[in-house]
Structure 1
Amino acid sequence: MRLRAALLAASQIMVPVTGAMATTITGPYVDIGGGYDLTQTQHVHDYDRQRLNDINNTYLKGAPSSVTSAFDKGIDPGLHERQQVRHGDGWTGFGAFGWGFGNGLRAEVEGVYNWSDLSSISATTGDPKGHRMHGRTDGSDRSYGGFVNVLYDIDLKRLFDIDVPVTPFVGVGAGYLWQNVSGITTLQHTISQHGTNGSFAYQGIVGAAYDIPGVAGLQMTTEYRMIGQVESFDMGTINQSYSGPLGRDTTHLRYDQRFNHQFIVGVRYAFNTAPPPPPPAPAIVPAAPVASRTYLVFFDWDGAALTGRAREIVTEAAQASTHVQTTRIEVNGYTDSSAAHPGPRGEKYNLDLSLRRADSVKAELIRDGVAASAIDIHGYGEAHPLVPTGPGTREPQNRRVEIILH
């Protein structure tokens, strides 16, 4: 029993203790998130020939010809005005549907919406002195559209033997975004910008997913994104309306590249992620059966006293009982078929003699340190001889005591 308990304990100790492994997505998943958006300052260009004609017809009307000529020579033929549009705080939101290939790679289609406050506009006019104006803007800037993203989940357990419920990921995406501008700025005059312009967009993604305990496939995500919009391939129009002392006009604006920096928190759910199987139950290794060990002690005819050699054998059995798993010691006494008192009394005499021989061995075992409660004695007389003989035969090997360690 002690051996069995020890084997069971050892098997439990050897079962590896595993942590919560990070989720590798296989199959469909959905992802939503939102967070803070910071849009870099954008540069805007305004080219308008009609505006020059309006200035000539309004501001220079009735002026001496020398003044008109001087102004005409110094002004940009297209009255090129350059602006810097500054954005304030903003926010972003997205939703995506994707597919995990089970090896870390994922592909997804994503819709995104960004909003930011327009804080101010600085303008440099196209006149000879290049006047610079700055005014606070009331309005907002929006961009919306879609991306196709390719991402890779970094398996920390497989690559670096780090067993944590966190999966870093990186990705890139390409798509198309529309930019909608609506704002009013007061410089030396009132400028109103409004309209929508679309262009090709791209993004880079760096983030990490954290497994939510108890819900298979559910993860919280944090990520940083940089979104860029190119100047070319643009579609649509953003108009600028001017109202001031020189009259009114409407021009077309061209926004250059746009960059958004975003810090996002989201939730992702993978549909085909089954809960990990429970760890296997510790295997209970049954104790191997231990064969009984038997020691034979022989006696003189009609005697129950131990000889010197018999004492050595008893001592050996006593020592063995302390080194081998022993639950019980059986001591059985026997005689041969002869008897000191022949006749009907002989069988009863031999039975008593076998029991006295067993008692002698038990007493010697106790002197050698074996507990008396662990020893069972029996006397079998002439029964179970080692060497079969006829009645009244003296046979030394049948005059014995068997010590059996169970």
Structure 2
Amino acid sequence: MRLRTALLATTLMAAAPVAANATIITGPYVDLGAGYNLVQTQHGRYANDPVARQSSSSTLRHHDGFTGFGSFGWGFGNGLRAEVEGVYNYSEINHRSGVPNTTSGSDQSYGGLVNALYDIDLKQFGVDIPVTPFVGVGVGYLWQHYNPTTTTYINNGGTTRLGGTTGSFAYQGIVGAAFDVPNVPGLQITAQYRMIGQAFTDGSFSHTSYGPTGRRTGNVNFDDRFNHQFILGLRYAFNTAPPPPPPAPVVVPPAPTPARTYLVFFDWDRSDLTARAREIVAEAAQASTHVQTTRIEVNGYTDNSAAHPGPRGEKYNLGLSIRRANSVKAELIRDGVPANAIDIHGYGEQHPLVPTGPNTREPQNRRVEIILH
């Protein structure tokens, strides 16, 4: 039940609706997180059990726990990230199977892992929201320590105390989503699920037993350990300063009549309107009411750089130019222009305002033209 509830909470957080562009990390970043740690029931083999008077097998059941981690990483700008992580896990132990008994104790693990992750850019699928799903895997080394965990047998009063520390190979799988914090470039809230596994060697831990046959000591061998973790965190990427604004359009000397053509400029790979762009659209909408206008033509363009090179980039830029034209159309409608008076077109990289060489980010070519006919 606890596992199902935590999975549902993580799913709901990842599906929450939002509205803006998502961040793909380029350069260094730091990541901190903490959350709930649920350890699967462990199977162990005990030597010199005081009740069975021989080696025995039983399971340890875990209760509540928590986890925390900190990491430093690097984003390569194409969705791939690599990071080094330090982690701490804690879990309570409240039951051991077998004859009637009472069990109490806890354990903890700590160490480091190296992770490889991939951020999924939803803009590739036509989804323009400030959420970045991600998946990842990691390998490393963790030390597992059992704080004194005592089992008292009700039938004969025998007692077993488990303890010890050992290090082992560890691995993990990661799935989650990052949510951009509005008006704070580089800062993201993360929600994620992690599964950490550890493989122990035989004789990794020890126990001391007191029972009818006296005091005994022996080793405890555990099968692989699995931690299921549900984590909230904060991530900050350092190289996320907003791009410089495009050059101001050339000032045209005042004319006796309102201008018939208006230019709206966009940031690279963006289709949302800046504050200045909204002012220009408002001017065009107002001008359309003061002059005889039968039709408003809205044409979208891009420069010849692209998030995806080659023919795929040309197709992407064509779609981007249409999205820019649609953004301007929606703003014109909000400013009172009838929707049936507006025609939109997307031309992608065609008809540049400023001729450039290939794959050049030219701000004046990232535009929408509003033409009043």
TM-score (norm 2): 0.59
| Other-structure match for 1:147 | 113
Which string of whole-angstrom CA distances, capped at 9 and with x for unpartnered residues, describes residues 314-344 of structure 1? xxxxxxxx99xxxxxxxxxxxxxxxxxxxxx
Contact persistence 1:120–1:134 (CA under 8 A): no
Q: Which one has a bigger Cα radius of gyration?
A: 1
Point out the more displaced range, 209-218 or 276-285.
Answer: 276-285
Secondary structure of 1:100 counterpart: strand
Q: How does 1:215-226 map to 2 (within 5 A)?
A: 215-226=184-195
| Other-structure match for 1:212 | 181
Which string of whole-angstrom CA distances, capped at 9 and with x for unpartnered residues, describes residues 68-111 of structure 1? xxxxxxx99xx321020100010000000101111100000001
Which string of whole-angstrom CA distances, capped at 9 and with x for unpartnered residues, describes residues 202-228 of structure 1? 110000011111211111100000111
Shift of 1:262: 0.4
Point out the more displaced range, 262-271 or 183-192.
Answer: 183-192
| Other-structure match for 2:66 | 91
| Other-structure match for 2:355 | none
CA distance in 2, matches of 1:110, 1:273: 22
Shift of 1:21: 1.7
| Other-structure match for 1:264 | 231
Contact persistence 1:28–1:98 (CA under 8 A): yes
1:87 and 1:212, CA in 2 relative to 1: closer, same or farther beyond 3 A? same
| Other-structure match for 1:22 | 22
Shift of 1:47: 3.2
Which string of whole-angstrom CA distances, capped at 9 and with x for unpartnered residues, describes residues 298-324 of structure 1? xxxxxxxxxxxxxxxxxxxxxxxx99x
| Other-structure match for 2:166 | 197
CA distance in 2, matches of 1:118, 1:140: 5
Secondary structure of 2:97 counterpart: strand
CA distance in 1, matches of 2:233, 2:171: 20
Please say if 1:80 is aligned against 2:47: no
CA distance in 2, matches of 1:289, 1:100: 53
Shift of 1:288: 8.4
- 2:152 maps to a residue whose letter is T
CA distance in 2, matches of 1:210, 1:286: 45
- 2:37 maps to a residue whose letter is D
Shift of 1:160: 0.8
- 1:204 maps to a residue whose letter is G
CA distance in 1, matches of 2:251, 2:213: 96
| Other-structure match for 1:40 | 40
CA distance in 1, matches of 2:247, 2:189: 29
Can you give the 5+ residue segments of structure 1 that lack an aligned partner in the other structure?
A: 1-18, 56-74, 124-132, 291-321, 324-406
Secondary structure of 2:36 counterpart: strand
- 1:44 maps to a residue whose letter is G
Shift of 1:285: 6.3
CA distance in 2, matches of 1:286, 1:153: 48
Q: CA RMSD in A?
A: 2.7
Please say if 1:252 is aligned against 2:252: no
Secondary structure of 1:137 counterpart: strand
| Other-structure match for 1:121 | 96
- 2:20 maps to a residue whose letter is A
- 1:269 maps to a residue whose letter is Y
Shift of 1:249: 1.0
Tell me which of 70, 74, 87 is aligned to 1:112.
Answer: 87
Secondary structure of 1:21 counterpart: coil
Q: Deviation above 6 Å: which 4+ runs of structure 1?
A: 282-290
CA distance in 2, matches of 1:206, 1:276: 30
Residue identity (%): 61
Number of positions where the alignment pairs a residue of Structure 1 with one of Structure 2: 237
- 1:242 maps to a residue whose letter is S
Shift of 1:134: 3.7
1:284 and 1:203, CA in 2 relative to 1: closer, same or farther beyond 3 A? same
